[in-house]
Structure 1
Amino acid sequence: MNNKKLIFSVFTLCILIILGFLRWDNLESSADLHYKYDRWAGQKWVEFYPPLAASSNSMEFPLIYIDEIHPNDINKYLGKQALSGELVNKWIERTKLTDGYVGLLLLNILMVIYSFFKSQRTYNHKDSNPR
């Protein structure tokens, strides 16, 4: 019975890891803009790398009602979306999906560890009491 739990836990862990790798679809990019698609949320995002920036930090935000943006329009776009509240809603949705995924992943990892040690204990207990 414990081996079945361990096999099931390892199987679901593999599925979760694969789903994590398949979450983002990289789209077209330019020197300053990198577009990607969040398959889980069905939302297109853009990473903006400011030219002549002192650091390599990027600014990331969802594209709402548009498919691409020009670097000169970013401040106007962000101001408009921030005032409407949609920008925050998209971030909250993304955060909930990410937190749920990480929670499931950690829970599954703990289940794999627990099942492994439980099966080892059962195996060693059977081995030490020969019939």
Structure 2
Amino acid sequence: MIIKKLIICVITLCILLILGFLRWDNLESSADFHYKYDRWAGQKWVEFYPPLAASSNSMEFPLIYIDEINQNDINKYLGKQALSGELVNKWIERTKLTDGYVGLLLLNILVVIYSFIKIFILRDKK
């Protein structure tokens, strides 16, 4: 019975890992912009790397109602989306999906570890 649970947990763990790797689809990029698509949320995101920045920090935000953005429109776009609340809603949705995934992954890993320990303890008792 324990071995069946372990096999199911290992298969589930593999599926979760594959889903994690398949979450993001990298789209076109330029020197300052890197576009990607979140398959789980069905949302396009952009990472903006400011030119002349002292560090390699980027700014990441969802693209709502548009497919591309240029450097001159970023502040206007972010201000409009922040006032409407949609920007925050997209971040919350992304965070919930990520937290749920990480929770399932950790729970699955703990069950696999617990099952291994239980199998080895039962073997030692025999």
- Structure 1 counterpart of 2:4, one-letter code: K
Which consecutive residues of structure 2, in runs of 5 or more, have no partner in the other structure?
A: none
Which residue of structure 2 lines up, in the alignment, with residue 44 of structure 1? 44
TM-score, reference length from structure 2: 0.99
1:2 and 1:119 mapped to 2: Cα distance?
Answer: 7
Deviation of 1:124 (Å): 1.8
What is the CA-CA distance between 1:121 and the residue it aligns to? Answer: 1.1
Measured after TM superposition, the shift of residue 14 of structure 1 is 0.5
**Correspondence for 1:103:** 103
Deviates more, 1:117-126 or 1:93-102: 117-126
Structure 1: segments with no counterpart, 5+ residues: 127-131
How far residue 114 of structure 1 moved from its aligned partner, in angstroms, is 0.2
Q: How far does the alpha carbon of each residue in 1:23-69 deviate from its partner, in whole angstroms, 9 at most, with x for none?
A: 00000000000000000000000000000000000000000000000
Structure 1 residue runs of 4 or more that deviate by more than 4 Å after TM superposition: none
2:24 aligns to what?
A: 24
Indicate whether 1:87 and 2:87 are aligned. yes
- The amino acid that maps onto 1:11 is I
Residue 9 of structure 1 corresponds to which residue in structure 2? 9
> Which whole-Å CA distance do the structure 2 matches of 1:10 and 1:119 have between them?
14
Distance 2:79 2:99 in 1: 27
Matched residues in 1 for 2:11 and 2:71: separation?
44
**Residue in 2 aligned with 1:129?**
none
User: Aligned partners of 1:30, 1:71: CA distance in 2, in Å?
Assistant: 12
Q: Which amino acid aligns with 1:48?
A: F
State the partner residue of 2:115: 115
Distance apart, 1:123 and its partner CA? 1.8
Who wins on radius of gyration, i.e. which is larger? Answer: 1
| Overall identity of the aligned pairs, in % | 86
Given the two structures, how large is their TM-score scaled by the length of structure 1?
0.95
| Cα distance in 2 between the residues matched to 1:9 and 1:120 | 17
Distance 1:30 1:90 in 2: 24
The aligned residue for residue 33 of structure 1 is: 33
